């Protein structure tokens, strides 16, 4: 961030601090909110809840008892407080069936007690995340302003996608990301596990996918095989589920298939000079059997309703399809006139296979024109320069997740002075742009109220991300802006206030050994190139 921008930010932060000090000097209590994402309704009261280094918790509902061990671990980890489970306690978890939103909660802080009410475990979990932050950011004061928070999310889909095909990061790093997602009430982890550079998940029926297809990455095509075993996948799926995060696997097809067909070349549909062996062969019956058997194993590993099939950028490498006898045969039999129709034929067949194994399809926005069933297909709008595709998806009654490159691709640089990473015609993805999404600057106006729009997601592609330090630097602190954009209603959003809360997160990152971009610093950032 340029110097003048830093000065502006510091002036805003100073103004907030001075406002608080003035309130203190006037003899009143400071009613500051430290939670990210900012709750949608808060009423402050002129008292404090005071606590010492030990705090107690209980539940009036047996199902909420399951949440207490995780809360204890998080409070001890982030706030350095000891928590004990006691029958008569300071914190009480209560099931309240009058709270209609599944992810909603009511958090009441009075001088002697904190109550969290929800109609579901998920809602109670999010109330606990808010309390963890209140305790963490209370500092040395040992007190929290009394308040009543009535909260529920703006969007049901609050997602982050990690690409591990281009570079592989491993179990510990994924857990670290999942922990921070839970802290911020993000609930969908989209996992890009296959692409041209590497196949990253064990498939027992086809062991060569990892023995051969997992070798290499974007930087080094001869790098040792990096992939997740099925046991590691199960571990991470359970780890995420305990944090109310669904993991959505992406198995890319019919393009971005290079790693797979390197292992099983009999299913290759060829490619182009720039993208060799880029596609699966849509004219070979065995291709559909091969992919369906893979997806059966995927479905057994991931309990969430959806499997992401990609479906993007197929034209990068489908030029040889017309030379394949099987493709020509299908074109004649099905009266297909061009290769885009062959692509759609492929996606329709795989969509049918996915339905048979009990799942639904997610695809990038190219699938809007593929003739898929809108009742079992979710579309991710990523081409920010093609708003007409977004409009077409809504017109054809597809549910849509908004994840446009600008501003929600986190491999784009986050400051104009950063030199390593992507830009789009000079545009990039600073914290403020992420925070302000989905403003009219970045999305069609029809996005804001249409019930078919289920949420937003940031995507981190890893061509320029070859280390965990670089991964974290590109993700933090922008993930905080993502969480507030996804959770908080427009009328409650205030970027200057958000910045003052965001700075408090830096201490969490330091304690967790997380790299991050400090936008307040005058020193040029280490971009971990």
Q: Which residues are catalytic?
A: 195, 256, 313
Handedness of CA 443, 444, 447, 452 (dihedral sign): negative
DSSP 5-67: HHHHHHHHHHHHHHHHHHHHHTTPPP-----SSPPS-EEEEEEEEE--SEEEEEESSGGGGGG
Measure the CA–CA gap between 422 and 461, rounded to whole angstroms.
10
CA atoms within 13 A on the CB side of 311: 33
Measure the CA–CA gap between 159 and 472, rounded to whole angstroms.
16
Q: Which tokens sit at 417? A: 């002075």
320 Cβ contact list (under 8 Å, min separation 6): 269, 270, 271
> If residue 299 lies in a helix (H) or strand (E), which one and from where to where?
helix 285-301
DSSP 137: T
DSSP 90-131: SEEEEE-TT--STT-EEEEE-SS-EEEEESSHHHHHHHHHHH
Strands of 133-223 (E only): list them. Answer: 143-151, 157-163, 188-192
Closest CA to 246 of 373, 128, 406, 360: 360
Beta partners for residue 418, in sequence order: none
- Strands laid side by side in the 91-95 sheet: 42-50, 143-151, 105-109, 114-118, 91-95, 54-59, 82-85
């Amino acid at each position: 961030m340029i110097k003048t921008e830093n000065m502006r930010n510091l002036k805003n932060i100073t103004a907030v601090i001075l406002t608080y000090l003035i309130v203190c000097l006037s003899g009143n209590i400071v009613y500051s909110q430290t939670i990210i994402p900012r709750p949608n309704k808060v009423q402050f009261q002129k008292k404090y809840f005071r606590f010492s280094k030990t705090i107690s918790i209980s539940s009036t509902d047996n199902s909420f008892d399951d949440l207490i061990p995780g809360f204890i671990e998080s409070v001890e980890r982030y706030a350095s407080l000891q928590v004990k489970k006691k029958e008569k306690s300071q914190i009480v978890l209560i099931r309240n069936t009058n709270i209609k939103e599944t992810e909603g909660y009511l958090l009441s802080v009075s001088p002697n007690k904190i109550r969290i009410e929800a109609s579901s475990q998920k809602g109670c979990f999010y109330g606990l995340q808010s309390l963890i932050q209140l305790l963490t950011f209370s500092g040395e004061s040992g007190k929290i302003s009394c308040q009543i928070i009535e909260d529920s999310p703006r969007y049901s889909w609050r997602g982050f996608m990690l690409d591990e095909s281009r570079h592989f990061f491993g179990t510990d790093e994924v857990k670290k990301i999942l922990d921070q997602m839970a802290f911020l009430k993000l609930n969908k982890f989209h996992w890009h596990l296959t692409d041209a550079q590497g196949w990253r998940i064990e498939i027992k029926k086809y062991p060569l996918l990892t023995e051969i297809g997992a070798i290499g990455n974007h930087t080094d095509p001869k790098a040792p095989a990096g992939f997740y075993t099925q046991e590691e996948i199960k571990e991470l799926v359970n780890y995420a589920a305990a944090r109310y995060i669904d993991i959505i696997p992406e198995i890319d097809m019919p393009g971005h298939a290079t790693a797979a067909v390197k292992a099983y070349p009999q299913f290759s549909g060829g490619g182009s000079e720039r993208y060799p062996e880029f596609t699966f062969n849509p004219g070979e019956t065995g291709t559909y059997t091969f992919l369906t058997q893979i997806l059966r194993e995927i479905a057994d590993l991931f309990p969430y309703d959806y499997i992401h099939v990609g479906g993007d950028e197929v034209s990068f490498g489908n030029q040889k399809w017309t030379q394949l006898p099987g493709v020509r045969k299908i074109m004649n039999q099905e009266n297909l006139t061009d290769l885009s129709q062959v692509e759609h034929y492929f996606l329709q067949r795989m969509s049918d296979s996915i339905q048979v194994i009990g799942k639904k399809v997610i695809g990038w926005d190219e699938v809007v024109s593929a003739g898929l069933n809108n009742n079992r297909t979710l579309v991710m709008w990523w081409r920010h320069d093609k708003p007409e595709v977004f409009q077409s998806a809504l017109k054809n009654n597809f549910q849509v997740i908004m994840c446009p490159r600008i501003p929600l691709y986190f491999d784009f640089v986050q400051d104009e002075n950063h030199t390593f990473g992507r830009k789009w015609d000079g545009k990039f993805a600073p914290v403020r742009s992420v925070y302000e999404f989905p403003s009219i600057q970045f999305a069609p106006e029809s996005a804001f109220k249409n019930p078919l729009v289920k949420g937003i997601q940031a995507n981190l592609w890893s061509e320029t991300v070859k280390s965990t330090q670089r991964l974290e630097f590109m993700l933090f602190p922008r993930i905080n802006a993502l969480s507030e954009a996804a959770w908080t209603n427009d009328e409650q959003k205030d970027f200057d206030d958000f910045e003052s809360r965001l700075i408090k997160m830096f201490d969490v990152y330091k304690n967790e050994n997380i790299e991050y971009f400090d936008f307040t610093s005058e020193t040029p950032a280490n971009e971990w190139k």
